[in-house]
Amino acid sequence: MERRSLSLVALVLLPLVLEFPARTAAHVALTFPPARKYDLDFLDNSRTKAPCGMPKGSLKTSFIEGSTFNVSWHLAYPHRGGFRLEVLDTKEKPVLNLTPSSKERRFVRDDATAQQYQVSLPRNFTCRDCTLRLVRQADEWGGNYRFWSCADVDIVPRREHHETCSGHGKFIARCKCDKKYYGQRCEFWDECVSNQDCGIQGTCVDLGGTSLPRRQCYCRLGWYGAGCNKKSPIKSTDIDYSVYKAKVLSPDLNVYWRVLKEQAEVEVVLKVNGTSWVALGWRPRKLTAECKNFPLIGGGTSGEAGSAEPEPASEPTSEPEPKSEPEPGAEPGAEPGAEPGAEPGAEPEPKSEPEPASEPGAEPEPKSEPEPGAEPASEPEPTGEPASEPSSEPEPKGEPEPEPGAEPGAEPEPKSEPEPTGEPEPVTEPTAEPKATGKRTKRADTPAAEPEPEPKSEPAAAAEPTAKPKPKPAAAAGAASKLKLNPYTPRHDFNPMDCTDIVIGTARGENHRVWDYYTRDRSTPRVDSFWGGKSDLTATGGFEKDGVTTIVFRRKLEASEPTDHAIVDDLMHVIWARGQEPGAYVHSPPSGIEKETASVRDFYQPDELKYHGHRMQRGVTQINFLEEDLPKLPLPGAVPVQPKDGAAVPVAGSEGVIVPAGPVGHELDNECHGFYKFPRTCDPEQANCEYFLSWQTVARGEAVHFHLETKNTATWTGVGFSDDQKMSQTDAIIGWVDKSGRPFLMDTWINGYSAPKLDDRQDLYNASGAIQNGRTVLDFTRKRITGDDNDLAFTEDRCLYLMFPIEGGAYNAVNKKVGKHGSVPVVTDTRVCIKSCAKMFEQLQTIAAAPAPERIAYEAAIKLTNLAAGFQVPSSGTPEHRDLSKSVSDTFNGVFKEVPGFYRTDIMDFEKEADGSVVVKMNILVDKEMKNGSRNVLADDPAKLELTIHNLMVNNLSSGKVGAFSVDPTYLEFTQLEGQASSPKEEYELLPAGVRLYLILGCIAGLVFIAIIQATCTIIKTRRTNRLKDQ
């Protein structure tokens, strides 16, 4: 066979569903007897309903009493621990152990990679409408954590048994299987037996692994689809990367994309330094955990607490995983070309086929949420306590699974759902490690690290372990309680891998295999046809050369099925993953291969869709595939000053807020100032940005002032600084304004995937915050170089990556603990430089020498009435004082806006009277020259101008109401101020720094000269006096 070269299933955008029902990095699922529909491989005792995770179905396998047969299962991750097989009665209570069991040893632990076991049924033991259940340990995630998979069976007397050969053969003394099916009862299926089964343009490849199907079809370049019968415009290995936008997902994986506007399609290229499979998945950023209700299983919706097992009480502490990774794509299951009957859950007969090859049928698309979580940082899964199982032996408590998909490369993600007392979770990893699309991610409630093992002792009771709910912050708990979940919908968290549309690809030489997948949870993704959908890929290609795999695919921007997500003009939650390479397996903590007996040491074969692994094997990030480069235009209201080098200089607005001048989109390439906003086309002055952050060097370049606005007032917000785009070793500023209006900002350090740690030294100053116009507004300043070991410095030769938590998480205003962010923070693709900008400050000094425009000023005083009882005038300089001044100023600006040359009103003071009213003193400023440079004619007639303004004041006050303020119509003081007026905020020094320096030096020289003359005179006078005395 040609050298296997797993092509990355690069799927950046919308999920392209693989058509073969393969399993990815999921964990266990029965293949014979075939598991209940849906035969997912990540059904555990922490998140899914006991005792099986799936309800009984129509697919049933019949066995003869006293017979012996092999039970087989799919295994995507060789966990530590053993397995147990048992029979449950009609009420789903254990009645018979099929594997050796004792108080000391309830599981078979001889082989961590075991995927079959021969069992013998007792004679005279019959059981109709019963269940055969496989229970698999995962000791590295916790002593009581279990996976389970169930098959519906009948155990009947020989005379009542009718052999069906799993519906894929004829019984004549023994089963004679249909083409592509094999096994004692035709229970297994391969996609192809020879090249002829793959069409003229296809090749049948034997992967040689343990996952089914083992033999799969690969198409030559220029062809794709079931049987390689569709022509593809992707025919060459020569790719012009200059026409694509790009993002580095990990050191070994890049994604490239472009939008084909005429075809309304997106083309994605995945290039990975490896020879196994690669996957890319996505979902809408705002999707919630309710998307896991698809497909509908076992009845209507219920509350979060209903029918789902409680979340585990403790979270394991094993190594934190990077952000959630998607589980590897489904095993290379049957491609669409495979016979539809291959899907076990589809036929009522006891097919024992592993994963049937589902044809790409229309699959309903689950609603999906990146980012991510996003997020999605890999957090240990909660430890589940045994869910009471209706039967004799108690199942150990399920522990949360450690590996969530982390987003390597993405912004660091804070731990899953915030706990009320938990420390602030770091913003999701920006671009460090994006979460992978394959593996399961820990629930939002779980920590980002992998679960710690729980005690190995297992309860002797017959109850299955049920996870105990973990306390969550009030906000998070409230949100979770509002979710309407079905009885068989996984509980507790929203993993980065949940509800994602995924494309998985592999390649060998110039042959490739790329399919469209979907996954409800952390189970191995399945082709769209498995869920009732169809592949939406309009072209695919791929090749492997010199150990580098390249996968290309196209798909429509729109989506019409539950298994597909449309590509929209917004940041999308994106996950990615890659297959493990031979001899370089990445398990954290170590798996059964590293720590226990394993008969299959080379467990992961090239191109075999199994667990992707940890760390940089998977990740999560956020990408807007439709974002276009915008032209550089000044922001409304900004008055950019053009220095000598032509770069725009930001100016401060009337409230002292820095409004950067520059492109309408983000400005990240200026060393003196910049800004980031989301959405990119929003306007901060219109207050329609979900998130806006601007920064400006101040204090002659020694410090940086940050201004942040967000519409998410009920969550924390902030900004992070990273030296490597990863969550670990990140300097983060986190803050909020609570319901009482009190702002809070903290300087923190994120170490690993644990909660942010408050710095011993807080290096923030001039900090303030308020809720304005329904938005949280925070301002703070910090030095570029603080000298604090827990701060990252912006130096002349060191730039940093910035992380923007667009949607933060819950916070506790009392103990300052924060929860996981609502979406994966965005991390800049390139480093952002903030330098001292000496030239800019020199230029600003030159500009400052210009005199303020000539203005006429009037002083006025009015009285506000009908104020709230006990109203107190805010202290000057406080946010409340600024807000009140702005409101009054804006109101009277509207009164005078039609006066020729009117500039603005400045509020000078508030004085409270004994009767509770407040006198407002203000200055009204009018320019003598119009904005176009012409003379203000009205200003040339001072008496007429004064009368005009006075009459406007009287007319507006006469109604007792000006704007939203009640006023005293009889109270008005009005007079013209003598001389030229200028706003206090516009006073400039009249001489440049250089001139001032020469004047000072001249004065000093003059004083020295005078002192010398005085000393000379004194000496001469003294000498004369002495001479006279001598005479």
494-510 confidence digits (pLDDT tens): 999 999 999 999 999 99
**Residue 67: per-residue pLDDT:** 95
Average pLDDT, the chain: 77
Alpha helix positions (H), 780-907: 838-848, 879-896
Q: What is the arithmetic mean of pLDDT over 570-576?
A: 93
CATH fold for domain 651-845: Immunoglobulin-like (2.60.40)
Q: Higher-confidence residue: 169 or 1022?
A: 169
CA angle in degrees (0–180, nearest 5) for 386-390-391: 95
Rounded-to-integer distance, Cα 634 and Cα 637, Å: 8
Say which range, 233-242, 485-494, 647-656, 659-668, has the weakest mean pLDDT: 647-656
Element (DSSP H or E) covering residue 750? strand 743-750
Long-range (24+ apart) CB contacts under 8 A made by 792-798 are 792/721, 792/722, 792/723, 792/730, 792/731, 794/704, 794/721, 794/833, 794/834, 794/835, 795/835, 796/835, 796/836
938 confidence band (pLDDT: 50, 70, 90) = confident
Alpha helix positions (H), 187-345: none
- Written as one string, the DSSP assignment of 48-95 is S-TTTSS---S-EEEEETT-EEEEEEEESS--SS-EEEEEE-TTS-EE
Question: For residue 511, what are the β-bridge partners?
Answer: 220, 508
**Residue 933: per-residue pLDDT:** 67
**Residue 244: per-residue pLDDT:** 93
**Residue 36: per-residue pLDDT:** 96
Flag whether the pTM goes above 0.75.
Answer: no
943 confidence band (pLDDT: 50, 70, 90) = confident
Question: For residue 206, what are the β-bridge partners?
Answer: 215
**Residue 426: per-residue pLDDT:** 37
- Written as one string, the DSSP assignment of 390-419 is SSSSPPPPP---S-PBP-EEEPPPPPSSPP
pLDDT digits (tens, 9 = 90+) for 269-300: 999 999 999 999 999 998 999 999 999 998 66
753 confidence band (pLDDT: 50, 70, 90) = low
| Gyration radius (Cα) of the chain, Å | 36
Instruction: Provide the token pair at 724.
Output: 């490597």
Torsion sign (Cα): 226, 227, 233, 238: positive
**Residue 668: per-residue pLDDT:** 86
**Whether pLDDT at 875 is above 70:** yes
**Residue 504: per-residue pLDDT:** 98
**Residue 45: per-residue pLDDT:** 92
Write down the domain spans for the chain. Answer: 28-182, 651-845, 851-986, 994-1031
Q: What is the arithmetic mean of pLDDT over 927-944?
A: 78
Closest Cα partner for 821 from 315, 323, 293, 449?
A: 323
Residue count of the chain: 1031
**Whether pLDDT at 957 is above 80:** yes
Coil vs helix vs strand at 1030: helix
**Whether pLDDT at 900 is above 60:** yes
Residue carrying structure tokens 């009948």: 154
Q: What is the arithmetic mean of pLDDT over 688-701?
A: 90
Q: Higher-confidence residue: 339 or 869?
A: 869
User: Which of 203-207, 354-358, 457-461, 877-881 has the highest average model confidence (pLDDT)?
Assistant: 203-207
**Whether pLDDT at 169 is above 90:** yes
Q: What is the arithmetic mean of pLDDT over 906-934?
A: 85
Rounded-to-integer distance, Cα 623 and Cα 259, Å: 14
Coil vs helix vs strand at 564: coil
pLDDT digits (tens, 9 = 90+) for 982-1027: 444 333 344 455 556 677 778 888 888 888 888 888 888 887 777 6
**Residue 843: per-residue pLDDT:** 53
Instruction: Provide the token pair at 953.
Output: 């004041």
Given the DSSP bridges, would you call strands 757-758 and 651-652 parallel, antiparallel or unpaired? Answer: unpaired
- Give the amino acid at 307: S
**Residue 1020: per-residue pLDDT:** 84
**Residue 318: per-residue pLDDT:** 41
Q: Phi and psi at residue 709, in whole multiples of 5°?
A: -135, 140
**Residue 537: per-residue pLDDT:** 96
Instruction: Provide the token pair at 608.
Output: 């075999």
Query: With contact defined as beta carbons under 8 Å apart, do 499 and 292 qualify?
Result: yes
**Residue 481: per-residue pLDDT:** 56
3-state helix, strand, coil in the chain (%, to 5): 15, 30, 55
Instruction: Provide the token pair at 526.
Output: 């399945």
**Whether pLDDT at 246 is above 60:** yes
**Whether pLDDT at 243 is above 70:** yes
Cα 820 off chain centre by: 10
**Residue 824: per-residue pLDDT:** 83
Given the DSSP bridges, would you call strands 202-206 and 68-75 parallel, antiparallel or unpaired? Answer: unpaired
**Whether pLDDT at 682 is above 60:** yes
Rounded-to-integer distance, Cα 410 and Cα 619, Å: 7
Q: Higher-confidence residue: 563 or 840?
A: 563
Rounded-to-integer distance, Cα 286 and Cα 837, Å: 40
Closest Cα partner for 382 from 496, 491, 523, 524?
A: 491
The strand ranges marked E within 586-640 are: 618-623
**Whether pLDDT at 813 is above 70:** yes
Instruction: Provide the token pair at 671.
Output: 């060393």
Residues ≥6 apart with Cβ < 8 Å to 495: 324, 376, 404, 405, 440, 441, 442, 443, 444, 521, 522
**Residue 183: per-residue pLDDT:** 95
Question: For residue 555, what are the β-bridge partners?
Answer: 266, 537
Q: Higher-confidence residue: 112 or 398?
A: 112
Rounded-to-integer distance, Cα 553 and Cα 514, Å: 8
Rounded-to-integer distance, Cα 145 and Cα 143, Å: 6
Instruction: Provide the token pair at 22.
Output: 């393969």
Q: Higher-confidence residue: 635 or 588?
A: 588
Q: Higher-confidence residue: 666 or 696?
A: 696
Pick the CATH number of 28-182 from 1.10.3470, 3.30.420, 2.60.40, 3.30.70: 2.60.40
**Residue 727: per-residue pLDDT:** 79
Q: Phi and psi at residue 962, in whole multiples of 5°?
A: -125, 110
Do 28-182 and 651-845 show the same overall fold?
A: yes
Q: What is the arithmetic mean of pLDDT over 144-149?
A: 94
Rounded-to-integer distance, Cα 272 and Cα 292, Å: 30
Instruction: Provide the token pair at 879.
Output: 């946010």
Query: With contact defined as beta carbons under 8 Å apart, do 217 and 203 qualify?
Result: yes
Q: At what angle do helices 942-957 and 879-896 cross, to 10 degrees?
A: 110
**Residue 554: per-residue pLDDT:** 97
Instruction: Provide the token pair at 442.
Output: 């820990």
On the CB side of 584, CA atoms within 13 Å amount to: 11
Rounded-to-integer distance, Cα 483 and Cα 472, Å: 15
**Residue 930: per-residue pLDDT:** 78
Q: Phi and psi at residue 1020, in whole multiples of 5°?
A: -60, -45
Q: Is 752 left (phi over 0), alpha (psi -120 to 50) or beta?
A: left
On the CB side of 719, CA atoms within 13 Å amount to: 28
Closest Cα partner for 824 from 528, 487, 433?
A: 433
Cα 5 off chain centre by: 31
Rounded-to-integer distance, Cα 561 and Cα 1003, Å: 83
Torsion sign (Cα): 42, 44, 49, 55: positive
Coil vs helix vs strand at 468: coil
CATH fold for domain 851-986: Alpha-Beta Plaits (3.30.70)
Say which range, 93-97, 281-285, 825-829, has the weakest mean pLDDT: 825-829
Instruction: Provide the token pair at 72.
Output: 């087989």
